[in-house]
A and B are shown apart, each in its own frame.
Chain A
């Protein structure tokens, strides 16, 4: 029997004053939000702090959630904005794939992998590691599409761009991911192809 309560039900309960009900939304979306934040910010400590801040901001603005879009779409919009604000404040480099540094850092990640990781021939781990090597923009769009179950239209809403632009960006991100996999995980890729 499917007993999971809908986001809208939980939100209306929270808006009526039941603060504790918000914990359900937090536990439901914490992994999604944390993963998206990690695509932007590599430090887990910073990412966790930002992800918590996202839920606090969402709580404060809950009365503004109109329910015209999915709660997750609204939440990921806050997530994206928070990450960009954090990066601007910290003046961290938004790594670009066209930049040589990315390949350097990719090499660092690659060479810095523990023996355990290298030994892991799992395709899933290989793809996860390849995603970490992508630029935040590419990694985010792939995460939103594949893990956060957002449609092209919803991603367009989160990123503030046209759905067609999302389609093109997603295609390019996947192509770059494939390139990364072929460059850094040749052996594993050979298992796939």
Chain B
């Protein structure tokens, strides 16, 4: 008993535990302790009766009712509409993968270029020095590698655009 009193201290705490018990969400140990307190402690018993009555009244309250035309109004409204396609249908996975491939290609291209700029003969075994100030950007746009890289991206972009336009055309024609 004393143990239970220590376990549940304060009126708010008591109410919270009683609500858990009434709502049926108290765990087995808590439920047993509350049952014991309700049976043995007058204060707990009175509070339990109060809350139980509120709970029962809350359950018996009635729902509000809309006008009698409610269902008819909704049905009239939806008669003009169509169910929208599910989000997963109109988000084409190929487009997502295409976009991902585009960015991965850019990142890989940049990494390959940066690694190519590293001076491996710095004399130190621990530190790899990259002198960003000495990066020659004008060289980037003239080298064969970058030209190929840019062409690849353009082809990917055109493929995505084509995919997007053909999807749009399909939707418009209802195919």
B57 at the interface (CB under 8 A from A): yes
Contact of B87 with A51 in the complex, beta carbons under 8 Å: no
Interface residues contributed by chain A, number (CB under 8 Å)? 44
**B70 contacts which chain A residues (CB < 8 A)?**
26, 30, 34, 48, 51-52
B73 at the interface (CB under 8 A from A): yes
Contact of A124 with B61 in the complex, beta carbons under 8 Å: yes
CA separation between A52 and B66, bound complex, in Å? 10
Contact of A124 with B77 in the complex, beta carbons under 8 Å: no
Contact of A131 with B61 in the complex, beta carbons under 8 Å: yes
**B131 contacts which chain A residues (CB < 8 A)?**
none
A87 at the interface (CB under 8 A from B): no
Contact of B65 with A31 in the complex, beta carbons under 8 Å: yes
Contact of B57 with A26 in the complex, beta carbons under 8 Å: no
**A23 contacts which chain B residues (CB < 8 A)?**
71, 74-75
- Chain B residue with minimal CB distance to A27? B71
CB neighbors of A among B124-170 (8 A) = none
Contact of B71 with A171 in the complex, beta carbons under 8 Å: no
CB neighbors of A among B70-121 (8 A) = 70-71, 73-75, 77-79, 81-87, 89
Please give 9 more A-B residue pairs, beta carbons under 8 A apart, in addition to A19-B75, A147-B61: A20-B75, A48-B70, A52-B77, A56-B78, A63-B84, A146-B58, A146-B61, A193-B50, A193-B53
